[in-house]
Amino acid sequence: MTGMENIHNYIQSKWREGKLPGIDCLLFADGNVVMANAYGIEDPNTHTKEFRWSAICDTTIGSLEKYEPDIWTDIDIFHGAVSYGEGKIVFGDGCMGNEGFVASTDKNGDLNWGMFFTFSNPVYSAVIKDHTLICTTELGTEISIQLDDLTQVSIDITNMHKFRRN
């Protein structure tokens, strides 16, 4: 891949094939990637649990493919979307049962950015409140993404396993 236009076209072709990188990351249409660390912690005294997703470094899709050519995974966009700007936010699952994703598309359906989660289970719904995208997974986990800074992500597992889709 050479040139920004070629990288953009490459990313869009993968998106149209229904693919995103199958790792905890934020992919932009220009090929830039923010890698993330996703992990859970439990307080041994109170037995309270937390889950975190934090940005750890910037890279590119070309660099990731250099070391793992098969980085792409299949995704399925679920029915329903949230209007956002001149486009929309879509969401769904990865090819394994424990994966989910959320993505921003333009008015033509081209990818602006996509965020993949290896831990979340499918993202079943999303709403925007005060510049925050709140995604609810099939298990009731809420993933909140600050739309003004997509690397600011918080995870609330309070309702995990209580959510039941209709």
> CATH number, domain at 49?
2.40.10.480
What is the count of structural domains for the chain?
A: 1
Range of the domain at 14: 4-156
How far is Cα 42 from Cα 69, in angstroms, rounded to an integer? 35
How far is Cα 87 from Cα 69, in angstroms, rounded to an integer? 30
How far is Cα 102 from Cα 91, in angstroms, rounded to an integer? 4
Residue that is written with structure tokens 């936010």 in the block: 89
Residue 112 located in a structural domain: yes
pLDDT of 164 reads: 45
Residue 165 located in a structural domain: no
Q: Looking at 72-76, 79-83, 102-106, which range is the least confident one? A: 79-83
How many angstroms separate the Cα of 68 from the Cα of each of 38, 72, 120, 143?
A: 19, 9, 23, 27
Average confidence score pLDDT of the chain: 90
Residue 138 located in a structural domain: yes
Q: Are the C-beta atoms of residues 83 and 75 closer than 8 Å to each other?
A: no
pLDDT of 161 reads: 56
pLDDT of 121 reads: 87
What's the DSSP call for residue 77? E
